[in-house]
Structure 1
């Protein structure tokens, strides 16, 4: 017999949300380790002591964590999902009849007290401190990398960087334009960018893959023990800015979390002489990084490795035994001979080169052989020595943990394109996404049963 059961839709029922959320649900594990007491204390000075009570900032943060954990990119849709989903209501401490805040509440708080107090940075660091307490951060080895994320700017709204742009009154322009003009006045760059977006001028023109587009780079610094993100920093999409972002993150983690790694793992983009010199000489960190070296020759002539360096004599010796020096006569006033590129040029005597039988293999097209030695060459030698050790190959395998996080960021959290504009918008989105990733990683490691729920949710 066919059964039939129709319940009147207007019937009132008493519901206990605790019964509707499975014990292995991802949000249960996250809620177990999410403590927003420090966050509330941090925000308290930015609220008035009188007037009508505001929307609870903890509710806003919990809703944003849901959005980033489950890849809900639209805040309007996020409000709808929290309204309908019982597990989301349970996580947000909302009763079945409690009203969900309007989507405009997020932008009002983000552009106001959240940004003034750097609330998202405080949220990220409070979660990081919990990861440290739970033993998920070793502090021995860090890995760094950058990933390009498309900006919310169309390439059709691009103008050449050399073209004069009349921005008008900065006070009447959009927030991304005001941020760009303020940064432009502070930085005073020597060379203009190739293209500038009229929508988000601070975004970089990138042709990393396929047709060019406007983008920002998210820079991660992770601890290799469990893949926890210890810091995140937005930057323009170029190697120099990404290396500077890594320096900023290392200094900030050391200052705020009292963590300083013994080794830093990175790809060739972080193997420049300046970066290696900073790591070895100023920070005392072993660079497990391939050296950025373009000195090897492809025309069959002697490479720099064929020349022997003598530290005491401050000279090179060529394969024929002749000296290459930075100066061949004494000067009344001592000179450093350091070029703008941070190198010292060592060159042989013209007499030695003209009489040498190996000139055709050494410098067939120039009168003398010249070698540009970096002022950080000793740091480069340290990195080259590390590249020959078994520990370096282990570090290369551990470097993949950063790439896995970037794949998770774009495929699971759906952050392959920014929704907010300007450097501050990129700052907010990258911090919230990294916070969600750390929370998910903590739930996976400390509550393995929640992993199945996390997979089904994505």
Structure 2
């Protein structure tokens, strides 16, 4: 069987025009048209073609390079510079411009606020194309590592341990210095000890400053590399990073909004994320859905009060475990007396209200009743008798749990996984997003906005095709 061999000395010519470098139905042409539809002035990017001084690179071209590069997992400014020199699609997209890595990096840093708003304009473009209808919104979150090490995360206990070690070492150094003869001032060991003493005192001042910041800002942890990131726990263990939130539309699974928060869980995010999504839509959605990680009654009722159907299972409903015979669900609540009746017919009276946790506590009046009960040790092991807590918004919680059990709610929740989890799968796997490059909330929100825009664009191309999409946007 014959073989084909390449010839490095074979002469050939590229097309005379850069416009002919890519095919008419090439994917890069769709990126070019979609980004061209964005309003840079509305984003907050300065447009001043008559500005004096050294000519700058066209902001629209720089934005196209960032979005297109991120869409293929190319996020590093040095890699983007390389693509602009060797990749024909990048050469075509930039019109032959070859910005260096410093220029690309500076553009990204200086326009964090503008880049954060790119997804909103892209979502509004999808609304105009009738790809987003805003009837049902899904919320989901995922942990992504930040540009910082977990070793640089400090809490109160760590500060106290370090201060104790530093003080002990300072005392040791001072004791060693006293043993050195006064005449041996130029002794190398003495000079070295003085330098170490200086370093330890500087480290002590730094740790004391961190301790003060933790107390003043009432934070549990602080990272010295990226002060905005938090200690997050994920499948890869504990890391310094962020909790990424997305709002997804039901129709085609396109992203309506993205956000980044420094929280280790999703408990306090539901209302905020849905409200941001509704702001982009310019209207209220009909239904809002999320998993049990968002099951916080105080958050859910904020959306429920707006007339939006809330589809979020409680932790009990999500676990699908049958309640034990003496679980709270099997105690009957007497609204008139404001008390509970246990399965054995004994009354648990109201005792006090914890306004901090927004709960009311009920307990058996006579502890001997519980201790003499045949179910003692099964129902409770407390010598004070059985105790039950009730949310101030318990009625709302019960109503929302009933809403989740409805057939149409079950149908909505069934779609949640395929709609809300697909974007994270694409962003983490296909776009190779394992950690943020920028630091601080503004930076990571800008990066997440670009990544979310990349997902929307590839979905738009999958739904409509390159040629049809370009025709719809240019006519």
Shorter-normalised TM-score: what interval?
A: 0.7 to 0.9
Alpha-carbon distance in structure 1 between the residues aligned to 2:448 and 2:42: 23
Change (3 A) 1:40 1:15: farther
Contact conserved, 1:234 with 1:245, CA < 8 A, in 2?
no
Contact conserved, 1:138 with 1:223, CA < 8 A, in 2?
yes
Verify: 1:422 aligned to 2:440, yes or no.
yes
Which aligned pairs between 1:219-230 and structure 2 lie closer than 5 A?
A: 219-230=245-256
The TM-score, its normalising length taken from structure 1, stands at: 0.78
Structure 2 counterpart SS, 1:212: strand
For residue 22 of structure 2, what is the aligned residue in structure 1? 21
Which of 303, 322, 339 is residue 279 of structure 1 equivalent to? 303
Alpha-carbon distance in structure 2 between the residues aligned to 1:288 and 1:298: 21
Q: Deviations over 1:183-230 (max 9, x none)?
A: x699822x522xx44322332223322443222121111112111111
Structure 1 counterpart SS, 2:405: coil
Change (3 A) 1:305 1:44: closer
Alpha-carbon distance in structure 1 between the residues aligned to 2:70 and 2:363: 58
For residue 174 of structure 1, what is the aligned residue in structure 2? none
Contact conserved, 1:420 with 1:429, CA < 8 A, in 2?
yes
Which of 198, 201, 221 is residue 224 of structure 2 equivalent to? 198
TM-superposed deviation, 1:284: 3.1
Contact conserved, 2:84 with 2:91, CA < 8 A, in 1?
yes
TM-superposed deviation, 1:278: 2.6
For residue 461 of structure 2, what is the aligned residue in structure 1? 443
Alpha-carbon distance in structure 2 between the residues aligned to 1:147 and 1:448: 30
For residue 332 of structure 1, what is the aligned residue in structure 2? none
The TM-score, its normalising length taken from structure 2, stands at: 0.76
Verify: 1:377 aligned to 2:394, yes or no.
yes
Change (3 A) 1:296 1:320: farther
Gaps of at least 5 residues in structure 1 are: 167-176, 328-335, 452-458
Alpha-carbon distance in structure 2 between the residues aligned to 1:299 and 1:447: 51
Verify: 1:100 aligned to 2:95, yes or no.
no
Contact conserved, 2:298 with 2:393, CA < 8 A, in 1?
yes
Q: Deviations over 1:350-402 (max 9, x none)?
A: 28936985663644534433210011212221232123222333233322222
Contact conserved, 1:62 with 1:91, CA < 8 A, in 2?
yes
- Compare the two structures and name the one with the higher helix fraction: 2
Contact conserved, 1:217 with 1:237, CA < 8 A, in 2?
yes
Which aligned pairs between 1:148-159 and structure 2 lie closer than 5 A?
A: 148-159=143-154
Gaps of at least 5 residues in structure 2 are: 164-205, 470-475
Change (3 A) 1:47 1:163: farther
For residue 356 of structure 2, what is the aligned residue in structure 1? 340
Alpha-carbon distance in structure 1 between the residues aligned to 2:30 and 2:235: 38
Structure 1 counterpart SS, 2:234: coil
Alpha-carbon distance in structure 1 between the residues aligned to 2:446 and 2:15: 39
For residue 415 of structure 2, what is the aligned residue in structure 1? 398
Alpha-carbon distance in structure 2 between the residues aligned to 1:209 and 1:84: 37
Q: Deviations over 1:129-176 (max 9, x none)?
A: 01111111121111111111112223444545444499xxxxxxxxxx
Structure 1 counterpart SS, 2:315: coil
Alpha-carbon distance in structure 1 between the residues aligned to 2:215 and 2:253: 35
For residue 56 of structure 1, what is the aligned residue in structure 2? 58
For residue 328 of structure 2, what is the aligned residue in structure 1? 304
Which aligned pairs between 1:107-186 and structure 2 lie closer than 5 A?
A: 107-112=105-110, 114-115=111-112, 118-164=113-159
Which of 284, 297, 312 is residue 289 of structure 1 equivalent to? 312
For residue 456 of structure 1, what is the aligned residue in structure 2? none
Change (3 A) 1:44 1:419: closer
TM-superposed deviation, 1:274: 2.5
Deviates most, 270-279 or 130-139: 270-279
Change (3 A) 1:297 1:393: closer
For residue 429 of structure 2, what is the aligned residue in structure 1? 411
Alpha-carbon distance in structure 2 between the residues aligned to 1:236 and 1:156: 17
Contact conserved, 1:221 with 1:246, CA < 8 A, in 2?
no
Deviates most, 289-298 or 402-411: 289-298
Contact conserved, 2:45 with 2:59, CA < 8 A, in 1?
no
Contact conserved, 2:270 with 2:299, CA < 8 A, in 1?
no
TM-superposed deviation, 1:410: 0.9
Change (3 A) 1:17 1:326: same
For residue 387 of structure 1, what is the aligned residue in structure 2? 404
Contact conserved, 1:203 with 1:214, CA < 8 A, in 2?
yes
Verify: 1:212 aligned to 2:238, yes or no.
yes
Contact conserved, 2:66 with 2:75, CA < 8 A, in 1?
no
Q: Which has the larger radius of gyration?
A: 2
